[in-house]
Amino acid sequence: MQNLLVIGFSLLCLVSAYQDPKIDHREVRCLVCKAVVDEMDKAVEKVDPKRKVDIGGYRLDSYGNKEQKQVQYARSELHLTEVMEEVCNKMDDYVRGRFKSNNVLTLLKLIDDSGSMNPLMSEVDLIQDSDLNKSLKFYCEGIVEEFEEPILKLYADHAENMKTRLCVDSTNLCPSSTDEDNDTESDYFSEERDEL
């Protein structure tokens, strides 16, 4: 019985050691924005590019013809709206963590798209938080709701560099000098935190 108490106390100390009170919510929102782009890109890529949908009003022009055109279903407002309604449910598959090598905050998808454990798990210290990562879904819902129009426009226009175009240029959720393999983003958020 005493051994169980010692083990339980040790586990409690271990879990509390990985709670990170220094997480900046702006940095998390930036990472969530990038995860939203990743998940939306996957959803758009899954749709057959040959599948088309008619768009436009059902009004007649001056000659009595309907003014409609066809666009790819994957990039239609109809499909993108459906994807945006479901994308935040994917945040349940993500956890916060810090890379062991450089202590940079990351969002890590636990299971990759092939159904196996994410190979980066061994390189990351997971951060346990009190809300069990429900705030990731909350941040996602806020981003999708607040920036619905820019998301729809960028995807409909086949914009390149979606993470930069959406998360930096359109929403200002991420700093402008982000580099996927660089610490500049973490430095940016820590400098702002020091100023406050």
Q: How far is CA 134 from CA 19, 42, 110, 131, in A?
A: 15, 22, 15, 6
Q: Regarding predicted confidence, which is higher, 157 or 128?
A: 157
The pTM of the full predicted model, rounded to 2 decimals, is 0.74
**The two three-digit tokens of residue 63, written as one number:** 């000659």
Q: Distance between CA atoms of 5 and 2, rounded to whole angstroms? A: 5
Of all residues in the chain, the percent with pLDDT exceeding 70 is 76
What pLDDT is attached to residue 77? 87
E strands present in the chain: 52-55, 69-72, 94-99, 105-109, 124-126
What pLDDT is attached to residue 132? 66
**The two three-digit tokens of residue 88, written as one number:** 């935040």
- Residue of 99, 96, 100, 98 whose CA lies nearest to 109: 96
Q: Distance between CA atoms of 148 and 165, rounded to whole angstroms? A: 14
User: CA torsion, points 81, 82, 84, 87, in degrees to nearest 10?
Assistant: -170
Residue 120 has pLDDT above 70, yes or no: yes
**pLDDT band of 182, cuts 50, 70, 90:** very low
What pLDDT is attached to residue 124? 94
Q: Distance between CA atoms of 92 and 51, rounded to whole angstroms? A: 30
**pLDDT band of 85, cuts 50, 70, 90:** very high
**pLDDT band of 192, cuts 50, 70, 90:** very low
